[in-house]
Amino acid sequence: MTDVLEYLVAALSGGGIYALLTIGLALLFSVMGLMNFAYGELIMTGGFAMYLLRDAPWPLMIVGVLVAVVAVALLTERLAFRPLRGASPLTLLIAAFAVSIMLQNAARMTVGPRAKGVRPWLEETISIGGVGVQLLDLVTIAVALALIGGLVLLLRRTALGVQLRAAAEDFEMASLLGVKANRVIASAFAITGVLGAVAALMLILKQGSVSVTVGSVPLLIAFVGAVVGGMGSLVGAALGGFVLGAVTAVLDAALPGELAPFRDAFVFGLVIVMLATRPQGLVPAPEARV
Amino acid sequence: MAAQRLREGVWPPVALAVAIVVVAALAGATGDVVIRRVAILALINLVLVVGLWTFSGVTGVVSFGHVSFAAIGAYACAYLTIPVAMKRGLFPEMPGFLDFLLTVHASFPVAVVLSGLAAAVFALVVAPAFVRLDGVQAGIATLALLAVVYNVLLNWEEVTRGSSTMIGVPADLRLGTAAVWAVAAVAIAWLFARSRVGLRARAAREDGAAARSLGLRVVADRTVAWCLSAFVVGCGGALYAHFITTFNPDQFYLGLTFVLLAMLVLGGIGSLTGAVVGVAVYSLLAELLRRLQGGSWTGVELPAGTAEVVLAALLLVMLIKRPRGLTGGREVPWPARRGPRAAAAAPPAPRPGAAEGGGAAA
Amino acid sequence: MLAVKDLRARYGPIEALQGTSLEVREGELVGLVGHNGVGKSTTLKAIAGVLRPSGGTIEWLGAPLRGGAAATIRAGIAYVPEDRRIFAGLTVEENLRLGATTRTDADAVAADIERELERFPPLRKLLTRRAGNLSGGEQQMLAISRALLSRPRLLLLDEPTLGLAPIIIDTLFETIARLRDEGVTVLLVEQNVAKTVRIADRLYVMAPGGRIERSGPAAELERSPEFRAGYLSLAPAHERKAVTP
């Protein structure tokens, strides 16, 4: 019984983080066909901001992380992806790859190649029904829910949200009606930045350290989640990300030592199978984008 | 007519082969050890890139996972060429059913070919999952393939030594040998591209929708391209193993994938000449940047990673300004005739300002 | 109001328009008809700013028309493309509001939405319905209303009756005629020549390559025997049959 609760909490918090990441990925993909391979580096940026601000008071650090990640996201949009607007999704993927390498090496050049520790927070375990649960996990679940809720509100209740959804469905028609492409895409990147910043905070607090490659594994899992869920659909992406994050977290806790290292192989094998059999994902988008 | 066919069909690979041999010879003639190593590495990369082109350039489906074939080739070659006496010590826990790996041995050329075949067989087995995909889906699926192979190689420690380096591979790759393999790769790629299967695949590349309606044909053609390219890339991996002599799975992951893609995009994915040009230009630039970074010219040492940043930035600029690469998808032109080329008319684009959605200032 | 002179446009190596000229005067309903593939849609796309012409000029209200689609809307030209392109995932109301994206007078927008609901009563009870669940006819109404929400002076309609049931087609033609009566200038591209010629003030007949083969007041053309032979049935004037060429 205690195991179940532990797994449940781990699944929810892991799933929550990855849902945030995959929504960010899916948003960019539906609006401009970009599979942002450099997304992991947003997490890296957040992590390094956490490290650089490790001695600052908590509110300042959180704000600092948000600002840093959103700034980097907007910067990559302006310098790398805006000139490539309208390019094929594949070109965009390669470009994102290049941006990822640039960001990683820029970090390597400035902050250094070695892993850095971050100040732990919310480490305490509290007792629920006699089971020890990490406070951090609970906070993660709450934050993830709040953010997703906020995003839904943004998309459904605000003019910007309507424009984003329209652009995500049919970018050309939206511009024909006067929706400003630059504003919409920049907002999408900014949203991605906020989601990435929060995910970075949660992930890195859990890990305890940050390095240049800290974003690689989350990125790949988020990728898989987006593909499995259906790249063009935000709901599908959230679902895919959640399922995958949850599965990964549970596997981490539950896999026998023998097979544990092969977790990633299973996960990626899953994405291959998914693409081969149901390329549009669990929840297909209104208009498939290849 | 026959003369033109000869020019188009025979001249480019011959020109490329001659260029390769000449450059290799020059590098060797300098007697400089560093230059020789740079040249050998470039030739190996040439085999890898040409192998990748055999699939991605011909079918138009970009693969992010071909480095996994290189990995298989490298490890296979290691098993075949590490002295038998060393192997038991290196792999103390090799599972019983793989015991033959400890006793096999082959000469270098045979080992390379066998390694290529191993990669090709693997490719054939996994082909059905990949050959029906296009565009971004294919990119992601092949990326997943890379991740799977990487993960297995890294974690199946009893067989692969995991993250500990593979050692004992003899360092017997000479400049001349590398050049021979490079020329062979170019020949294989060219012959394939001009074969019936290759021509059909290239036609299908131009018109994806119509190609899909041909169904089985496209899938079969792509499978051939997939396996053949895996063979060449596998051979490249084997050569690479003999060049660096010590390696672990990290050498065959995202870093190498990026370099190969960068070379391909730089030169122009549309033509074999593009692949070769891309390797040459990138290798030259990388070496220059490395010397600059190391401070041998300016006396100032730049932080590690500078070269990578510059090269990645270069790739980005290339994608923005000249997505079709330096060669624009054209093969080596016959020097005598320089006829007018019909300028490709630009596809319809929104009026200036339309892309911004803002148009005239509000 | 709108003067198109010697317009040229290309799709890759194909010259879709090789010198198209036409004009639309204020308050008119001008029909642009012709067989499939002659360049009618391309002409509208070029005017709307979707497509960049390779030659010729487009003059609007005396000045050259510049900028992309958004600028064109602000200049007072609204475009309803072929296949409508409504946003299936958004509600009817959200679709309508998007039509007013370039406007800055929020209160008037609400009034305009109300006006559209009067024009197309079926839309009223569909306001909160997902646009993708609407029928073809309802989607067409939505597309037109959305375009009208930008308060255009000129409306470009690209084959609005394509794929719709005959009853709806009739109603739609009536509605378009009424639009002209209300003061909206309309440039209507259609394949249904018989119905178009009845509501239009003037007609242009386009031939392959975008050349204007003949033009003139609709009433005149309707009576001309060659026109009738080429584009309507051979029946005499008093026995018109609706024939789609």
At B338 the pLDDT is 47
For residue C137, is pLDDT > 50?
A: yes
pLDDT tens for each residue of C86-117 = 998 889 999 999 988 888 887 888 888 888 88
For residue B137, is pLDDT > 90?
A: no
Give the residue on A whose Cα is nearest the Cα of C102: A178
Mean pLDDT of chain B: 83
Lowest mean pLDDT among A224-238, B18-32, B238-252, C124-138: A224-238
Chain C positions in Cβ-Cβ contact with residue B358 (cut-off 8 Å):
68, 70-71
For residue A289, is pLDDT > 70?
A: no
For residue A241, is pLDDT > 70?
A: yes
Instruction: Identify from C51, C57, C102, C150 which residue to disrupt to test chain B contact, counting B C-beta atoms within 10 A and taking the largest count.
Output: C51
Q: B319 to each of A77, A99, A235, B36, C78, how far by Cα in Å?
A: 15, 12, 32, 31, 35
Lowest mean pLDDT among B12-16, B209-213, C26-30: B209-213
pLDDT greater at residue A123 or residue C70: C70
For residue B43, is pLDDT > 90?
A: yes
Those chains having 3 or more beta-carbon pairs within 8 angstroms of chain C are: A, B
What do you get for the CA distance between the two ends of chain C, in Å?
30
Size of interface A-B (CB pairs under 8 A): 144
Domain boundaries, chain A: 2-287
Q: How many whole angstroms separate alpha carbon B231 and alpha carbon A253?
A: 40
At A2 the pLDDT is 62
In a domain, B307, yes or no: no
| Amino acid residing at A215 | G
Give the residue on A whose Cα is nearest the Cα of B302: A109
H/E segment holding residue B180: helix B175-194
Chain A positions in Cβ-Cβ contact with residue C89 (cut-off 8 Å):
165, 169, 286
CATH superfamily of the C1-76+153-163+178-217 domain: P-loop containing nucleotide triphosphate hydrolases (3.40.50.300)
Tokens of residue C88, six digits: 């299936």
| Average confidence (pLDDT) over B200-229 | 77
| Amino acid residing at C111 | A
In a domain, B205, yes or no: yes
pLDDT above 70 as % of chain C: 94
At B184 the pLDDT is 94
| Average confidence (pLDDT) over B278-304 | 82
CA distance B206 to chain C (A): 14
Q: How confident is the model at residue B187 (pLDDT cuts 50, 70, 90)?
A: very high
CA distance C115 to chain A (A): 19
CA angle A73, A79, A80 (to 5 degrees): 85
At A53 the pLDDT is 85
Structural domain that includes position B92:
2-252
CA distance A230 to chain C (A): 16
Q: How confident is the model at residue A1 (pLDDT cuts 50, 70, 90)?
A: low
Q: How many whole angstroms separate alpha carbon B337 and alpha carbon B329?
A: 18
Task: Enumerate the β-bridge partners of residue C33.
Answer: C190, C205
Residue B233 Ramachandran class (φ > 0 left, ψ -120 to 50 alpha, else beta): alpha
Of A80, A83, A112, the closest CA to residue A99 belongs to A80
For residue B289, is pLDDT > 90?
A: no
Contact C173, C193 (CB under 8 A): no
C68, B355: Cβ pair inside 8 Å? yes
Report A:131-160 residues touching C (Cβ under 8 A). 159
In this structure, how many other beta carbons lie within 10 angstroms of the beta carbon of residue A42? 31
For residue A104, is pLDDT > 70?
A: yes
Complex ipTM > 0.90: no
At A284 the pLDDT is 64
The CB-side HSE value for C172 (13 A sphere, CA atoms) comes to: 27
B312, A102: Cβ pair inside 8 Å? yes
C67, B351: Cβ pair inside 8 Å? yes
pLDDT tens for each residue of B335-359 = 765 444 433 333 333 443 333 333 3
* Residue A269 touches partner B, C-beta closer than 8 Å: yes
Of B31, B61, B27, the closest CA to residue B43 belongs to B27
pLDDT tens for each residue of C164-208 = 888 888 888 988 999 889 888 999 999 888 888 888 999 998 888
Chain B positions in Cβ-Cβ contact with residue A97 (cut-off 8 Å):
258, 261
Helix then strand then coil, in percent of chain B rounded to 5, is: 70, 0, 30
CA distance A241 to chain C (A): 22
Those chains having 3 or more beta-carbon pairs within 8 angstroms of chain A are: B, C
B351, C52: Cβ pair inside 8 Å? yes
For residue C236, is pLDDT > 50?
A: no
pTM: 0.79
A113, B304: Cβ pair inside 8 Å? yes
| Average confidence (pLDDT) over B120-138 | 88
A177, C102: Cβ pair inside 8 Å? yes
Q: How confident is the model at residue A285 (pLDDT cuts 50, 70, 90)?
A: low
| Average confidence (pLDDT) over B234-245 | 93
For residue C39, which phi and psi values (nearest 5 degrees)? 125, 15
Q: How many whole angstroms separate alpha carbon A176 and alpha carbon B355?
A: 10
Chain C positions in Cβ-Cβ contact with residue A163 (cut-off 8 Å):
98, 101
Give the residue on C whose Cα is nearest the Cα of A162: C94
Q: How confident is the model at residue B49 (pLDDT cuts 50, 70, 90)?
A: very high
Task: Enumerate the β-bridge partners of residue C14.
Answer: C11
DSSP notation for chain A: -HHHHHHHHHHHHHHHHHHHHHHHHHHHHHHH----TTHHHHHHHHHHHHHHTTTS-HHHHHHHHHHHHHHHHHHHIIIIISTTTT--HHHHHHHHHHHHHHHHHHHHHHT-SS-EE----S--EEEETTEEEEHHHHHHHHHHHHHHHHHHHHHHHSHHHHHHHHHHH-HHHHHHTT--HHHHHHHHHHHHHHHHHHHHHHHHHHH-EE-TTTTHHHHHHHHHHHHHH-TT-HHHHHHHHHHHHHHHHHHHHHS-TTTGGGHHHHHHHHHHHHHHH-TT-SS--SS---
Q: How confident is the model at residue B225 (pLDDT cuts 50, 70, 90)?
A: very high
* Residue A278 touches partner C, C-beta closer than 8 Å: no
pLDDT above 70 as % of chain B: 89
Domain boundaries, chain C: 1-76+153-163+178-217, 86-151
B354, C67: Cβ pair inside 8 Å? yes
Contact B352, C68 (CB under 8 A): yes
CA distance B173 to chain A (A): 30
Q: B70 to each of A48, A114, B18, B49, how far by Cα in Å?
A: 34, 29, 26, 11
Residue A264 is nearest to which of B132, B147, B358, comparing CB atoms?
A: B147
C67, B352: Cβ pair inside 8 Å? yes
Report A:16-45 residues touching B (Cβ under 8 A). 33, 35
CATH fold of A2-287 reads: ABC transporter involved in vitamin B12 uptake, BtuC (1.10.3470)
CA distance C19 to chain A (A): 25
B353, C74: Cβ pair inside 8 Å? no
Q: How many whole angstroms separate alpha carbon A248 and alpha carbon B233?
A: 33
For residue B139, which phi and psi values (nearest 5 degrees)? -60, -45
CA angle A62, A67, A71 (to 5 degrees): 150
A94, B312: Cβ pair inside 8 Å? no
Q: How many whole angstroms separate alpha carbon B262 and alpha carbon A104?
A: 17
At B99 the pLDDT is 78
In a domain, B257, yes or no: no
C74, A178: Cβ pair inside 8 Å? yes
| Average confidence (pLDDT) over A117-128 | 72
